[in-house]
Each structure stands twice: as C-alpha cells, then as structure tokens.
Amino acid sequence: MNITFRQLRYFLALSRSGNFTRAAEAIHVTQPALSMQIRALEDEIGARLVERTPQGVVMTPQGRALAGHAEQVMAAMTDLETGLRQPGQGGRLMLGMIPTVAPYLLPEVLPILRARDIGRDLHLREAQTETLLDELLAGRLDAVVVASPPEDPNLNGELLFQDRFLLAGSAARIADLGDKAIAPAALDPGHLLLLDEGHCLGDQALEVCGLNRRSSRLDLGAASLSTLCRLAAQGMGLTFLPQIAMGQETAAAPGLTAISFPEPQPARQIMLLRRKSTPAQGWFDDLAQMLRSAAQPLLG
C-alpha cells in the first residue's frame, strides 16, 4: 500500500468540511484535483471512503477509520516539522546558564521570552561552566550563558554585558576598611569567602586579587552565591558580589552591604555561546538582545 501524505491531507480536509467545494478551498486546490486524489486513495485502499449525498459528503465506516488514523499522522508530522525548526523559532530551545547568573537573570528574561512565544517550549539547564560547555559541544544544549569568552574554536560567542564585581560584607566589616576604596589586590586573603572550586566566579575573584587556590589560604567551601552572601552578612568575611546579583542578595541577606572597587573596577564578561556549526539565522541574535534587555534593570 502506497498512501501519500498529500492524499491524507486532502482526505482530512474533506472529512472535516463534509463538502468537496469547501475542502478544496480550505487547502487551496481545485475541486477536480481534490476529487482525483480521493479516488486515487480509494483505489489504493480498495474501498470506498466517502458517499456523495444531496446533503453533502458522508464518511463510510472505512472512511471514519481512516480519518482517525490520518489525524494522528498529521499531528505527528506537525510535531516533526516543529522540532526541526531553529531553536527559538518554533523548535525547542535548550538553554544553559551558570548558577551565578541564572537566579538573577531568568526572572527578568522569562516574561520577555514568553511574550515572544519562546518560553512556551524552553528547556533551562543550570550547571557549572565546564558542564555547560561539554553539553553544548555534544549537542544537548543550543546555547549557554557563561562568564568567560569561548576558548574552543568550535564555539561562537556574543558579549551580553559587563558585570562589575562589588565587595560585600557586613556593615561593620565594610566600615573597618575605612573611607578610601580598597583595591582587590589589597584585600587580606584570610578574610575572603569564595565559592568552591569549579565555580568560575571564585576563580575570577582570585584572579582579580592576584591569587590562586594552591598558593593562598582562603576560606572556601560555599556551593552557592546566596550562601556566601548570608555568611558575609553575618560578619564571617568578605565576598565578591556580581552587580547583577546585588538587588536580590542584599534583600535576602539583611545586614549585607556592598561597595564598589576603585577604577578600574573588576568585572566579568557575560557571554552567550553557541556552536559554530549551528545556523544562527536570527534566533541567536534575538536571544542575545532579549538577554541584554533583561539584564539592564539589574545593572543600574
């Protein structure tokens, strides 16, 4: 049996409308062309599918059975076509973000994505940079938001924004620093609270201080920025707070105070990355612009 997709589409139009003329108009073909395809389908199946009556078209038992199967075939074909579209253009968008960006940027960008009908089929993955890059290169993610430029030649990156580092701690600890802004390199390493190894924010904070994990005795062990901020608010030490997180973390950790470093202020680059082999064709640039717009209220 060699039933074509065109025959099923024509037959479903006839089944839904109950009239040859209306069915032909619905799928933008002539009535003779529609009739020819229906006859060819009946010949292929070896049974009559429709009865022509003065009141219109009536489905035979075989026609009703075929209509049910044809609806399933059409639905599956629609899902297939949708899945093959570009990410963010009807297809599912697989987006990854690092943990020091996702809790702050996602609440701002999701309403924008939903307004553009992207959030309806959006899959979000929050993980550390190394994991996200591995999944991006393996094709399990379409794009990732990270805090470093791409080093792999198979990746393309778009700068979203510069995220300044602030120095955060309890009001008493910040007051102990004096009125003059202190440079990162002048901080006492023993007073720093940083994220566990593997979090790029901790490594970037060490870098701007001119330190590294092996040569410095630092108070490490926190797995999230929110935990660091609560420890710092209790006077346990000082930490680096990205500007994008300041509003949310100072509200959630009473007593947390954040001040700016002197110029040139240290900052991290928030990037949107994709595979070079993935056709951008609008979706990538659109996504980058939406992420930038969502970040502006957080950056002040």
One fold for 93-161+270-299 and 162-267: yes
Enter the pTM of the model.
0.68
- How do residues 201-252 score in pLDDT, each as one tens digit? 777 877 777 766 554 444 455 678 898 899 999 998 898 999 999 999 999 9
User: What's the confidence (pLDDT) of residue 56?
Assistant: 79
User: What mean pLDDT do residues 152-157 have?
Assistant: 92
The CA dihedral of 96, 99, 101, 106, to the nearest 10 degrees, is 60
Q: Can you tell me the distance from the alpha carbon of 292 to that of 297, in angstroms, rounded to the nearest whole number? A: 10
Sole residue written with tokens 């990270």 = 146
Domain boundaries, the chain: 5-83, 93-161+270-299, 162-267
Give the whole-number percent of the chain exceeding pLDDT 70. Answer: 88
CATH superfamily of 162-267: Periplasmic binding protein-like II (3.40.190.10)
Task: Report residue 118's pLDDT band, with 50, 70 and 90 as the boundaries.
Answer: low
For residue 259, give both structure tokens. 């001040």
DSSP 196-248: PTT-HHHHHHHHHTT--TTT---EEEESSHHHHHHHHHTTS-BEEEEHHHHHH
What is the number of H-type helices and E-type strands within the chain? 11, 11
User: What's the confidence (pLDDT) of residue 215?
Assistant: 43
The enclosing H or E element of 57 equals strand 56-59
Topology annotation, domain 5-83:
Arc Repressor Mutant, subunit A (1.10.10)
User: What's the confidence (pLDDT) of residue 250?
Assistant: 92
Helix, strand, coil percentages in the chain from 3-state DSSP, rounded to 5: 45, 20, 30
Asked if pLDDT for residue 48 goes beyond 80, the answer is yes
The enclosing H or E element of 103 equals helix 102-115
Asked if pLDDT for residue 170 goes beyond 50, the answer is yes
Q: Which amino acid is at 62?
A: Q
Sole residue written with tokens 């809790």 = 103
User: What's the confidence (pLDDT) of residue 165?
Assistant: 92
Contact 189, 216 (CB under 8 A): yes
User: What's the confidence (pLDDT) of residue 271?
Assistant: 96
Give the whole-number percent of the chain exceeding pLDDT 90. Answer: 41
DSSP state of 180: S
User: What's the confidence (pLDDT) of residue 87?
Assistant: 54
User: What's the confidence (pLDDT) of residue 222?
Assistant: 65
CATH number of 93-161+270-299: 3.40.190.10
Alpha carbon 67 to its chain's center = 38
- How do residues 268-279 score in pLDDT, each as one tens digit? 999 999 998 887
Asked if pLDDT for residue 141 goes beyond 50, the answer is yes
User: What's the confidence (pLDDT) of residue 80?
Assistant: 56
Asked if pLDDT for residue 166 goes beyond 60, the answer is yes
